[in-house]
A and B are shown apart, each in its own frame.
Chain A
């Protein structure tokens, strides 16, 4: 293959530069893949602002590779916090031996979340280290970090491509966790283009091997604005274990305040 001489090369570069310049003026502004990824995450976040608070019931069905099942029942309440991460109170109802156990999380954008666990038998509130982010939540395939408040700042983003899954046109965005102790090298997230809802997330472990796939199904809209999936299903490709979360009785703006998310509230939760 003949090598182009220097003169040609220069002229060639000039052409590309001119072409790109024209293209970027035509589009108004050039957007890198990182900028586009971030703007998708910001738009998704923006569309979910203002719900104030919510409560819902959650049933987790855990399956192992032999198809054996086990269930957990929880009541979840959450409070939207301006300029910081949300506050969440998870109250365990089943299995019965942990009934009354409650977990309070004050999440933050990049600082580690504050977390307390209430043990009803001892009436003891225990501060727990948020190092457990990558650990399984109640023996399920959901890690603590999967269920935590998904603040925009928690990840770096990169737009990859458009793709249609299940008839929905989606943006495909790579997310790289920016907080400490994540169990993931990266995640690939599918957002649908019309409503900016998460449709699917594929997780890669710290060694960048395929780990889990989470799919969101049966979306419902509340207060004409907020979309919530009734079903979240996760498959672990490495262990063949799975967990299906089913949400019900979603209620928004129920009048919860900071007071429902302080340490004293843990003991009253039932």
Chain B
């Protein structure tokens, strides 16, 4: 896989050199530090860590903008965790757009959904979990994506020819399961393992104040379940064959943004339903300033409940948060919120802030506090001592 990526990378670079001055290079380099408030729970873990990350993007457009090739590699080098040091091709995608259709071939990233606290409907890409626990960082997914654009909406068909395993921190890293994950021996339900060809389809449409998406996925679950290895020294990730139907709706009702994500997932021998629903309300120009204050509340439910060993962290949870956007020259903003487990006292508090420095730098600060996580069955249980502050300083070029 690695050699293949290198070969593809070289070919792409040659192509861009040929494309000459019309290819556009941009991207960012970041320096990140993570400070953990408490001593680690497990002996091998190091207390704090620092890392550098780089994500350049080379893009070339031709045929009057109807065709494009985009190459976005990503790399992180971590001073503690060898598993967090990793390389990925986030995007290596050729796009051809015509009047009523669009074809994309290569490695890409696709986002589906409308809610903020979790992303139930979003299923095409695997989560790059070593990057962040919020599940918003994704690994590049090999795909053929055909889009058909009509008056009655947009139809997307995906063929996903190979599967990416979720990334997990290594023994020395923080924010990991109590028993380290065995990175080399994932278990697949399908005999074709990561070569199983998955497919997906989505229809979406905007009708007046309503944005509606209906999707279906069939193939290898992006969400692994875990089982102890034979020697009980490791956890093995188990990837089942699933089919998932999803609905995402967003509506503007008066001054309110109302959201719903609903999924029904079929696993071998069982089926479950989960949803997230809520609203966003924005107060514009608070205290006679230019700042906007958004109030966000979302409720999540998962019918597996909190007794199931494969329960979700969002089985009966309420997220409440506020987003302050200063609308200043530096584009400063702060998001503060908590996800409250309504079955017990567990709360996950999050604070995210960012601000541009000068014209080309950006400072990001992120805090997560895992509070009152006492139930051993809670998926966040092994993270209960991992309250941390992350600071990232990025330079954009």
A residues near B (Cβ < 8 Å) are: 62, 64, 70-71, 94-99, 112, 114, 122-125, 127, 129, 131-136, 138-139, 181, 183, 257, 259, 262-264, 268, 270
Contact = CB atoms under 8 A, between A and B. Distances in A.
Given A64-B329, A114-B206, A131-B255, A96 B360 contact: yes
B223 interface: no
B292 interface: yes
Contacts of B97: 268
B154 interface: yes
19 contacts: A70-B359, A97-B331, A97-B356, A97-B396, A98-B331, A112-B252, A122-B136, A123-B109, A123-B110, A124-B111, A125-B111, A129-B255, A129-B257, A129-B282, A134-B285, A135-B290, A136-B290, A259-B100, A259-B149
Most interface-central of A114, A124, A129, A135 (chain B CB within 10 A): A129
A112 B97 CA distance: 30
A263 B206 CA distance: 9
A96 B360 CA distance: 6
A270 B59 contact: yes
B221 interface: no
A177 to B, nearest CB: 15
Contact of A95 (B109, B114, B280, B356): B356
Closest 5 CB pairs of A and B: A96-B396, A139-B329, A124-B111, A123-B111, A97-B362
B284 interface: yes
Given A124-B111, A129-B252, A95 B359 contact: yes
B147 interface: yes
B284 A134 contact: yes
A127 B330 CA distance: 23
Given A70-B359, A135-B292, A264 B102 contact: yes
Given A70-B359, A114-B206, A259-B149, A139 B331 contact: yes
A132 B284 contact: yes
B211 A181 contact: no
B397 A96 contact: yes
A125 B250 CA distance: 12
A95 B360 contact: yes
B99 A259 contact: yes
Interface in B131-159: 136, 147, 149, 154
A262 B99 contact: no
B28 interface: yes
A148 to B, nearest CB: 15
Given A97-B28, A129-B252, A135 B285 contact: yes
Contacts of A123: 109-111
A122 B111 contact: yes
Most interface-central of B28, B154, B290 (chain A CB within 10 A): B290
A203 B108 CA distance: 46
B51 interface: no
A256 to B, nearest CB: 10
B276 interface: no
Interface in B68-101: 68, 95, 97, 99-100
Contacts of A139: 290, 327-331
Nearest to A269: B65
B28 A181 contact: no
B339 interface: no
Contacts of A98: 331
Interface string B370-394: 0000000000000000000000001
A262 B149 contact: yes
Given A96-B360, A132-B282, A264 B61 contact: no
Contact of B154 (A131, A264, A268): A264
